[in-house]
């Protein structure tokens, strides 16, 4: 009987430990354009991340995130304390760039972390040609 109780308890214990260790669901990345060729430079590119949470998330769940551009520049760190029933958060990062006669291939990476869990997701590359 003890063996049966242990066998039945293990999956529940593993699921509880996994929920604490992995507070995030998938992070979806998007960008408002994939390429630009034209004279109206500089242009603005908007990068978007949808950060999903595993439910229910742990009590007192807090995480931080920051953006990193393909040129190495890093944005500020933001600390988030989602409400108990909040399932996701959408964040945007704007980048204005481009000068006549120059071309760029740019992207952004979002770095998300909570406790021992750290996730990095990158957007698609955007090609920009300024004439």
pLDDT in the model for residue 91: 98
Specify the higher pLDDT residue, 51 or 84.
Answer: 51
pLDDT tier at 22, thresholds 50, 70, 90 = confident
**Residue pair 65/111 in contact by the 8 Å Cβ criterion:** yes
- pLDDT, residue 58, reads 81
Sign of torsion, CA 73 77 83 85? positive
Domains and CATH numbers, the chain: 23-130 (2.60.40.3880)
Residue 52 predicted with pLDDT over 80: yes
pLDDT at position 105: 98
3-state SS, residue 25: strand
pLDDT for res 34: 96
Please tell me the distance from the alpha carbon of residue 31 to that of residue 66, in angstroms, as a whole number: 16
Q: Which residue has the tokens 């909040």?
A: 86
Tens-place pLDDT, residues 72-129: 999 999 999 999 899 999 999 999 999 999 999 999 999 999 999 999 999 999 999 9
pLDDT at 1: 52
Give the pLDDT band (50/70/90) at residue 59.
Answer: confident
Between 57 and 44, name the one with better pLDDT: 44
**pLDDT for 26 beyond 90:** yes
């Amino acid at each position: 009987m003890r063996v049966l109780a242990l066998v039945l308890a293990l999956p529940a214990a593993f699921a509880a430990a996994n929920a604490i260790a992995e507070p995030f669901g998938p992070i979806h990345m998007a960008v408002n354009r994939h390429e630009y060729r034209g004279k109206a430079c500089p242009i603005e590119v908007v990068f978007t991340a949808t950060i999903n949470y595993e439910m229910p998330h742990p009590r007192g769940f807090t995480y931080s995130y920051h953006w990193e551009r393909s040129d190495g520049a890093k944005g500020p760190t933001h600390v988030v304390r989602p409400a108990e029933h909040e399932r996701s958060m959408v964040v945007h990062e704007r980048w204005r760039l481009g000068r006549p006669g120059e071309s760029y291939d740019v992207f952004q990476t979002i770095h998300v972390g909570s406790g021992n869990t750290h996730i990095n997701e990158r957007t698609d590359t955007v090609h920009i040609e300024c004439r």
